[in-house]
């Protein structure tokens, strides 16, 4: 079997790149982008923030492309109830204050009907959610921290197209138990994403009978040796880093040097599932275990898997348009836009509360990231059935087993 991830489809998706959409790809922090521009009375305006420059660029660039692809496909098939999507895009470059300014611009100047995408950072998404709630607009975030949507009673118009870290942690615990792991070291970064996971771990691991040691780190950390050395004194059987920051590569390199127990698992969470990171780590990345949506290993799944066809079609369309393979960030952004469009279509309205109610009663939506089952009590909508434990074998991601 070829080492490169390949997709075999009986009916390839034909793509036509319009000049209007191509013009909407500007990533400038101060410049908006229009995709599928139409007369405003005949369009549905959707705004998006992704950090395609700055420290989160490795995440944001694929997110932008996933959303752009979804906009194009929806517009090609006639839009939402005959109304094309007019897409406005801004790049906050990882800065929360910039993102707040841009969100206000989307809401007041651009007069968008909904916002999809939370700036490629949980902290940014949390700030954006306050503004969208005040404006009574539907907001579908693409970031990870569960506080973006929980408690749902306080975020009635905000949804996520990513797993809650509680779900991911539960899947990891299942994996550890199957491997006989009882002693764990967690290294979460100090961002909202990392600290949200820490809160979950401090609840879930003791309840599962697992011993937990913790060492938080600042994004951009250049040496994990002191933290790993300190944690190593407790002889953990698994070291789990929780970050989307590129310093996670340094964690891998340092762990392979400092951790002398060859049987200990070196792990990353679902925020680090990117072959670019693994390749940067070189030999230190080989054998790294990660929790992940199914996209990176979809070709290894049985044909009976409900997501396999959806993922294959998305991957084929993405590769045809961008001449590169998609990653999980692109998939969750694609899902977010598709979910927002489906909600507006079902509600037959861009009214925020009506669209939110439509999402809560949508039933099952088979997406790239998972099978979404939103409800009034769950605005993430994803369960452990969408999470796979995978590992990097030096060339690609494979099932961890």
pLDDT at 369 (0 to 100): 97
Predicted confidence band of residue 58 (pLDDT cuts 50, 70, 90): confident
The string of DSSP letters for 11-43 reads SPPP----HHHHHTT---TT---EES---GGGE
DSSP E strands: which ranges in 258-362?
A: 265-268, 289-292
Say yes or no to pLDDT of 27 above 60.
Answer: no
Predicted confidence band of residue 55 (pLDDT cuts 50, 70, 90): confident
Among the listed residues 304, 303, 302, 293, the one whose alpha carbon sits nearest the alpha carbon of residue 326: 293
Domains in the chain and their CATH numbers? 19-163+303-386 (3.40.50.2300), 165-292 (3.40.50.2300)
Contacts of 162 (CB under 8 A, 6+ apart): 141, 142, 143, 144, 270, 332, 369, 380, 382
Q: Which residues pair with 188 in a beta bridge?
A: 242
pLDDT at 281 (0 to 100): 97
- The pair of structure tokens assigned to 160 is 């996520």
Cα(187)–Cα(122) distance, integer angstroms:
18
Task: Give 311-332 pLDDT, tens digit per residue.
Answer: 999 999 999 999 999 999 999 9
Is residue 86 within 8 A of residue 37, CB to CB? The reply is yes
| Mean pLDDT within 91-112 | 98
Cα(397)–Cα(276) distance, integer angstroms:
11
Cα(145)–Cα(136) distance, integer angstroms:
21
Among the listed residues 336, 306, 289, 386, the one whose alpha carbon sits nearest the alpha carbon of residue 62: 336
pLDDT at 395 (0 to 100): 96
pTM above 0.75, yes or no: yes
| 348-363 CB burial, b ≥16 within 10 A, e <16 | eebbbeebbbbbbebe
Say yes or no to pLDDT of 13 above 60.
Answer: no
Say yes or no to pLDDT of 37 above 80.
Answer: no
Say yes or no to pLDDT of 18 above 80.
Answer: no
Q: β-strand 265-268 against 289-292: which pairing, if any?
A: parallel
For residue 204, how many other CB atoms are within 10 A of its CB? 18
Contacts of 91 (CB under 8 A, 6+ apart): 27, 28, 29, 49, 50, 51, 52, 53, 60
Cα(172)–Cα(290) distance, integer angstroms:
9
Cα(206)–Cα(124) distance, integer angstroms:
31
pLDDT at 41 (0 to 100): 56
Task: Give 131-162 pLDDT, tens digit per residue.
Answer: 999 999 999 999 988 999 999 999 999 999 99
Question: Length of the chain in residues, anyone?
Answer: 401
pLDDT at 32 (0 to 100): 43
Predicted confidence band of residue 277 (pLDDT cuts 50, 70, 90): very high
pLDDT at 56 (0 to 100): 84
DSSP E strands: which ranges in 252-357?
A: 265-268, 289-292
Percent of the chain at pLDDT > 90 equals 86
Can you tell me which residue has the tokens 């059935």?
A: 385
Say yes or no to pLDDT of 120 above 50.
Answer: yes
């Amino acid at each position: 079997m070829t080492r490169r991830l390949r997709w075999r489809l009986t009916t390839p998706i034909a793509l036509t790149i319009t000049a209007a959409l191509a013009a909407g790809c500007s990533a400038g922090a101060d410049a908006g982008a229009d995709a599928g521009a139409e007369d405003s009375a005949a369009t549905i305006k959707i705004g998006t923030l992704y950090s395609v420059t700055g420290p989160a660029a490795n995440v944001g660039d694929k997110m932008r492309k996933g959303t752009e692809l979804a906009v194009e496909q929806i517009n090609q098939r006639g839009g939402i109830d005959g109304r094309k999507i007019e897409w406005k895009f801004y790049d906050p470059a990882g800065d929360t204050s910039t993102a707040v300014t841009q969100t206000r611009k989307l809401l007041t100047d651009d007069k968008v009907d909904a916002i999809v995408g939370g700036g490629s950072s949980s902290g940014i998404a949390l700030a954006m959610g306050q503004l969208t709630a005040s404006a009574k607009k539907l907001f579908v975030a693409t970031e990870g921290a569960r506080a973006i949507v929980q408690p749902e009673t306080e975020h009635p118009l905000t949804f996520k197209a990513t797993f809650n870290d509680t779900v991911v942690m539960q899947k990891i615990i299942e994996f550890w138990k199957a491997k006989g792991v009882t002693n764990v070291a967690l290294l979460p970064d100090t961002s909202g994403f990392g600290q949200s996971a820490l809160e979950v771990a401090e609840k879930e691991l003791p309840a599962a009978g697992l011993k937990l040691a913790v060492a938080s780190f600042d994004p951009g950390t250049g040496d994990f040796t002191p933290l790993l050395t300190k944690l190593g004194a407790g002889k953990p059987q698994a070291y789990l880093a929780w970050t989307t920051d590129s310093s996670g590569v340094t964690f891998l390199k340092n762990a392979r040097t400092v951790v002398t127990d060859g049987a200990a698992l070196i792990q990353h969470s679902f925020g680090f599932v990117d072959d670019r990171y693994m390749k940067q780590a070189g030999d230190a990345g080989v054998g790294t275990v990660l929790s992940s949506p199914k996209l990176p290993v979809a070709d290894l799944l049985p044909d009976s898997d409900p997501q396999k066809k959806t993922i294959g079609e998305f991957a084929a369309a993405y590769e045809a348009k961008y001449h590169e393979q998609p990653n999980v960030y692109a998939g969750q952004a694609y899902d977010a836009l598709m979910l927002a469009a489906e909600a507006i279509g079902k509600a037959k309205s861009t009214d925020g509360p009506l669209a939110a109610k439509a999402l809560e009663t949508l039933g099952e939506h088979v997406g790239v990231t998972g099978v979404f089952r939103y409800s009034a009590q769950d605005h993430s909508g994803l369960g452990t059935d969408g999470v796979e434990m995978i590992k990097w074998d030096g060339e690609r991601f494979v099932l961890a087993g």
